[in-house]
Amino acid sequence: MGGTCHTPQDPEEQDDEKDQVLADKGEKTLESRSKIPPIRPKGTYHDLNQVLAAVNETYFDGALTCRITWSNRVGGLSFHSVRKDPITGENFHLISISKGYDAKNCPLYAVAGVVYHECLHVVIPVEEHNGRRVVHGRIFRQRERRYIYFDEWNRWHKEVLPRNIRAMRRGKEL
């Protein structure tokens, strides 16, 4: 898979295991077009459709069109991809959010933060610098900071999410 992994603050792409909490494929989506995963936005603690609707209204004037689901993997990945609807044949954006966010200890501002981050990938194209794909360029980072709980989300993402993911991998309920 051609995903890149990183923390929201780190502009450098890293493959560090502990940073595999956001993976953005940008436009590299061909391998994911064959099959659509089940789309399950309703979690135990958070309904992603509601979070997406609020983020869309607040930051995108309700103009964003995409679908959202809790990730089907046990790992900690949140990412954005482009899929093809097998019935209509149309492409659509799909945001997948790590289940580490569907936790009792996860405040709404943290879920909204990661949803906002992935929404930005829907609207901001991947930049190319000397043949290198830059998923989180300067424009991306500037817009990311417009999220009013950016610092709080970032802290939660770095400090709590990795613990939740480790717990999930040990089979614990969040």
Interacting residue ranges for Zn ion, rule: CB under 5 A = 22, 24
Tokens standing for residue 8: 């929201």
Q: Report the C-alpha gap between 139 and 160 in whole angstroms.
A: 27
Q: Which residues contact 157 (CB under 8 A, 6 or more apart)?
A: 7, 8, 21, 110, 113, 114
Of the pair 9, 44, the CB lying nearest Zn ion is at 9
Shortest-Cβ-distance residue relative to Zn ion: 24
Of the pair 19, 24, the CB lying nearest Zn ion is at 24
Give the count of beta carbons closer than 10 Å to the beta carbon of residue 173.
8
Of the pair 21, 22, the CB lying nearest Zn ion is at 22
- Exposure of 109 by Cβ count < 10 A (0-12 exposed, 13-18 middle, 19+ buried)? middle
User: Which residue, 21, 48, 6, 9, is CA-closest to 133?
Assistant: 6
Query: In the complex, what is the shortest distance from the CB of residue 4 to Zn ion, in angstroms, rounded to a whole number?
Result: 8
Query: In the complex, what is the shortest distance from the CB of residue 150 to Zn ion, in angstroms, rounded to a whole number?
Result: 13
Query: In the complex, what is the shortest distance from the CB of residue 87 to Zn ion, in angstroms, rounded to a whole number?
Result: 29
Of the pair 60, 167, the CB lying nearest Zn ion is at 60
Query: In the complex, what is the shortest distance from the CB of residue 29 to Zn ion, in angstroms, rounded to a whole number?
Result: 14
